Structure 1
Amino acid sequence: MLELEHGFRVADVHTRLDPDEEAVAVRGRQVSPERLEREMHQAGVERAAASPGRTPADEGYLRANNAVARLSVDRPLLAFARLGGPRSVHRVVGPLVNPIVRPKSHHTTAGDVEQYAYDDRYHGFTLDPAHDGLPTESVVDQLAAVGDAVLVHAGADCPPDAVADALVDRGFPVVLTSFGGYPLQEELMTSALEMLDAYDDLYLDTAYVPDRDILEQGLLEHPDRILFGSGAPSVHPNVGVMGVLTLDVPEDSMRRVFTKNPARVVPGLLPDL
């Protein structure tokens, strides 16, 4: 695939890195770290946040997180630690959330989050509540104490309002993947856009959003809250970048989504901005 030529510094908040055959995600294609780096270069992406793909529900992510951190060294990748917990996204009902939960050994603890935060190999966190469960309140409190960005896989199985009830306005930036509507649930995307008016620490990424109208609406109405995410390797970074470059929005809006917004939410993405 030919290299894209554009005048933007592109930072990507949403890529997946599968360390080995046992950690291959169930959706999308598997690529090596070298190939991911090469595809980023082809798309003009300077740096990207990378987290592990799914592991079996009872396995946890300690080994996968360590592998992604190791493979990110000397590459334009920032490791995000993937977390899991015992709470079901369907049982979030407000402040009294799942009063009786029994975390298991593979669930993330507050101590795990503290250790990740003080390890300079990690720059944020990733949650997929529909697959891995929501963390306990003590873990959420520790995320607030750390303050790093949390990328949350949202969509039909984990709608934006459930994420808001459990995680938003807790003292750390929350980035909803795919405008909160994967796979292409326009009603959920519209709901997520409306939520930006109510929550200052809520952001949306562009991964897997092929709908030009909803992307343009987000960039025009909320230019400081939309972050570029390619969704690589399930989507080639070229496709994600072109999806933004072809929008009918001002150049400044593109510069925000590609550069300014990602670097503000995840400072390590473009440290010399």
Structure 2
Amino acid sequence: MLELEHGFRVVDVHAQLDPDEQAVATHGRDISPERLQREMHQAGVVRAAVSPGPRPRGEGYLRANNAVARLSVERPFVAMARLNGPRRVGASAGSRLRNLAAVPGDHHAEPGDVEQYAYDHRFHGFVVDPTHDGLPTEAVLEQIGATDSPVLLHSSERVPPAAVAESVLEYDFPVVLTSFGGFPLDRARMDEALALLDSYDDLHLDTSFVRYREVLERGLLEHPDRVLFGSGAPDTHPDVGVMEVLTLDVPEDLMTRAFTKNPVRLFPGLATGAED
């Protein structure tokens, strides 16, 4: 694929890096760190936040997180630690009962893990996917707030934006809701997430897999400080996400905010690197 030519410094808040053969076998994709780096370069992305993809349920993320951190060294990547937990998101009676009885297992994240991940900025934030991994305990979420780290949070039909607001946004850390909360292509959830921006100052949205031009334009025009570029690589080539923003009918200043200013404000590690 030819390299994109544009005058923007693009950084990416949402990419995954499969750290080993088991992960490649699980996801059915062979995306090495070198290939991901090459695809980012082709898209004009100078730096990306990367995290492990989902592991089998019942398996922890310590080894995968450490592998991603190791593979990020001397590459234009900053590592994000993926966290799991025993709780469910939601206000239903079943969810409340489950959460009251939830006991963390040996494979679940603990507050001490968060403290170690954040030490000396080895990891630059956290990734939470409640649908696949469960929601971390209150103690873990409180520890994230103590580290002043951002959280990239995956939404889904089972975990819509309103449930995220009820369960996560009460804590003292910024949340980046992936795909405007509407993956895969659920426009109603995207509209719901945009509406929540008026009520929650610490809520942000990333652009990954938002294929509706009007939704992206509305987000940038109405909330220029709250939209961050995310590619969703390697499930999609980063070229695709970059082009979707480049072809919007919005001022270049708003593109600069999404591509650079907004991500760097939440993820300072994306601002530096020898490759800049």
TM over 0.5: yes
Equivalence for 2:265: 264
d(CA) in 2 for partners of 1:258, 1:92: 38
C-alpha deviation, 1:99, in angstroms:
2.5
Structure 2: how far apart are the matches of 1:13 and 1:116? 18
Change (3 A) 1:96 1:170: farther
1:197 is aligned to: 198
SS of structure 2 residue aligned to 1:41: helix
**Contact residue 90 and residue 167 of structure 2 kept, 8 A:** no
Report how far residue 169 of structure 1 moved.
Answer: 3.6
Aligned equivalents of 2:229 and 2:195: distance in 1? 19
Q: Per-residue displacement from partner, 1:27-56 (whole Å, max 9, x unpaired)?
A: 573300000000100111010000000100
The answer for unaligned runs of 5 or more in structure 2 is none
What per-residue deviation string (whole Å, max 9, x for no partner) do you get for residues 51-92 of structure 1? 000100100100100100000000000000000000012457
Which position in structure 2 is the counterpart of 1:50? Answer: 50
Identity of aligned residues (%): 64
Runs in 1 of length 4+ with deviation above 3 angstroms? 24-30, 90-97
Length, aligned pairs only: 273
The Cα offsets for residues 104-143 of structure 1, whole Å up to 9 and x where unpaired, read as 0000000110110114321000011000000001001101
The answer to whether the 8 Å contact 1:3/1:41 transfers is yes
CA-based RMSD of the aligned residues comes to 1.9
- Counterpart CA distance in 2 for 1:105 and 1:143 is 19
TM-score, L = length of structure 1? 0.95
Equivalent residues in 2 for 1:102-251, closer than 5 Å? 102-251=103-252
**Structure 2 SS opposite 1:12:** strand
Structure-2 separation of matches of 1:92 and 1:13: 32
> Is the 8 Å Cα contact of residues 86 and 99 (structure 2) preserved in structure 1?
no
**What is the CA–CA distance in structure 1 between the aligned matches of 2:92 and 2:56, rounded to whole Å?**
23
Q: Distance in 2 between matches of 1:258 and 1:168?
A: 24
Question: SS in structure 2 opposite 1:99?
Answer: helix
1:227–1:95 CA distance, 2 compared to 1 (3 A): farther
Query: In structure 1, what residue type is equivalent to 2:261?
Result: K
- Per-residue CA deviation, residues 170-200 of structure 1 (Å, 9 max, x unaligned), is 1111000000011011110000000000001
Matches within 5 A, 1:23-38: 23-24=23-24, 29-38=29-38
SS in 1 for 2:99: coil
Which residue is equivalent to 2:16? 16
| Structure 1 contact 113–143 (Cα < 8 Å) conserved | yes
TM-score, reference length from structure 2: 0.94
Q: 1:3-47 CA distances to partner (integer Å, 9 max, x unpaired)?
A: 001010001000000011212385573300000000100111010
Alpha-carbon spacing, 1:245–1:25, altered in 2? closer, same or farther (3 Å): farther
User: What is the CA–CA distance in structure 2 between the aligned matches of 1:63 and 1:109, rounded to whole Å?
Assistant: 15
Map 1:56-71 to 2 at 5 A: 56-71=56-71
CA shift for structure 1 position 161: 1.1
**AA aligned opposite 2:69:** A
Query: Separation in 1 of the partners of 2:252 and 2:91?
Result: 42
